[in-house]
Amino acid sequence: MNLELVTNTEVVHKQVYCGHPSGNNGENEPAEITYPTTEVVGHGSFGVVFTTTIKETDEDVAIKKVLQDRRFKNRELEIMKLLKHPNIIDLKYYFYEKDSHGEVYLNLILDYMPQSLYQRLRHFVHIPSAMPRLEIKCYMYQLFKSLNYLHNFALVCHRDIKPQNLLVDPNTCALKICDFGSAKQLKPTEPNVSYICSRYYRAPELIFGATHYSNQIDVWSSGCVMAELLLGQPMFPGESGIDQLVEIIKILGTPSRQEICAMNPNYMEHKFPQIKPIPLSRVFKKEDEQTVQFLADTLKYDPMERFNALQCLCSSYFDELRHAQGQLKQIVDSLQLLQFEYDTELAHLTQDQLEAVRLKLQPTQIR
Ligand SMILES: Nc1ncnc2c1ncn2[C@@H]1O[C@H](COP(=O)(O)OP(=O)(O)OP(=O)(O)O)[C@@H](O)[C@H]1O
């Protein structure tokens, strides 16, 4: 994404729809808003994003404008209408507009966040210094909180988790996932494309060509993001689709026959040079045992062995947040990290699981 400054300060009035249906009829109510067409714009592969302030509410927003194919519903819009979580960019409004050639554009009006995690990491690499370990922990916790909601309540797989799609506010340590342009509700019986997700973050089952993969691909990508924040550079910087697998094998070793089968039971070619794994404690020499163990739990070949989002939240890697004191406690409280909404975050658990999870996730709130 290239950033450039727009100098035009015209004010526009728009008839829009609210981002979420109100009432029982499932309809998105119309509304009227006014905003100046100013500020910074960015170019993504699917359209442009610019930021402005809605006059009526004084809210800072980002407007993502994408070309709308009239033949199809826009999946990003349909998914964003469903999502409401503190760690997911909220769809406030949307509207359509036509250009002079008759092309239709969809505009998504979203919560504004000051920067991406990619930009935040570049800031530290440039200084040069390491990103503070507690800041990384706060971001990773919020990432897994949003994935737990996405995977277990909305039943949506993001399919493009990467630092560019994680927006942060370094002043508060808040993180929100954005860009649902690749997201999909995966159905166990239906195949999905395996050429999805940005290369460095692509789960090995996708590289093995699986079409019946699960939400666990987002956990792999998240493990890669965390590794990158710790290392200051991508952990598996593959130069091509197949080289991506080579980069993974160089560290995790050659997957066993059983692991290949768990990634893609239809994969026929089982001849790989036998490479021994490098212990992650050697790759992450300066990190403590809990951090290294957490990375090992998220970067597993077998998607079923890999921790799911809720198991990640329960990891002892995050205990420091649960037992925080002083300034860290203020951050934990203001971001409401230990608050879980039963209906949208825990309702998929059995009673026994719920008790165990609550004991782990909310140790200070249960007497
Ligand atoms: N809500 C937001 N607040 C601030 N910046 C945003 C917001 N949404 C998007 N951006 C910026 O615009 C960039 C592109 O947004 P997004 O990823 O949704 O578009 P895209 O066209 O799918 O881009 P890409 O080709 O990079 O995938 C983000 O990486 C971020 O820098």
Q: What is the ipTM for the molecules in this complex?
A: 0.95
**d(C-alpha 53, C-alpha 173), whole Å:** 22
Helices and strands (DSSP H and E) totals, the chain: 13, 11
Question: Domain locations in the chain?
Answer: 11-111, 115-361
Q: Residue 70's pLDDT is what?
A: 84
Joined together, the tokens standing for residue 354 give 């719920």
Joined together, the tokens standing for residue 356 give 């165990």
Q: Residue 162's pLDDT is what?
A: 98
Helix (H, G, I), strand (E, B) or coil at 100: coil
What distance in angstroms lies between residue 280's CA and the mean position of ligand 1's atoms?
32
**Ligand 1 atom 23 nearest Cα:** 44
What's the residue count for the chain?
367
Residue 133 CB-density burial (10 A; 0-12 exposed, 13-18 middle, 19+ buried):
middle
Q: Is the pTM of this model over 0.80?
A: yes
Q: Residue 98's pLDDT is what?
A: 92
Q: Are 249 and 272 in contact (CB under 8 A)?
A: yes
pLDDT in tens, the chain (367 residues): 444 444 557 899 999 999 998 876 778 999 999 999 866 667 777 778 989 999 999 999 999 999 998 888 899 999 999 999 999 999 999 999 998 999 999 999 999 999 999 999 999 999 999 999 999 999 999 999 999 999 999 999 999 999 999 999 999 999 999 999 999 999 999 999 999 999 999 999 999 999 999 999 999 999 999 999 999 999 999 999 889 999 999 999 999 999 999 999 988 776 788 999 999 999 999 999 999 999 999 999 999 999 999 999 999 999 999 999 999 999 999 999 999 999 999 999 999 999 999 999 988 764 4
**Ligand 1 atom 21 nearest Cα:** 44
> Active site includes 160?
yes
* Residue 259 half-sphere exposure toward CB, CA atoms < 13 A: 15
Please work out whether the CB of residue 116 comes within 6 Å of at least one atom of ligand 1.
yes
Please work out whether the CB of residue 119 comes within 6 Å of at least one atom of ligand 1.
no
Please work out whether the CB of residue 223 comes within 6 Å of at least one atom of ligand 1.
no
Q: Residue 242's pLDDT is what?
A: 86
**d(C-alpha 261, C-alpha 246), whole Å:** 18
Please work out whether the CB of residue 207 comes within 6 Å of at least one atom of ligand 1.
no
Catalytic residue among 60, 90, 160, 179: 160
Q: DSSP characters for 221-253? A: HHHHHHHHHHHSS-SS--SSHHHHHHHHHHHH-
- The four Cα atoms 226, 229, 231, 237 give a dihedral, to 10 degrees, of 70
What distance in angstroms lies between residue 309's CA and the mean position of ligand 1's atoms?
24
Task: Provide the CA 69 distance to its chain's centre, in angstroms.
Answer: 25
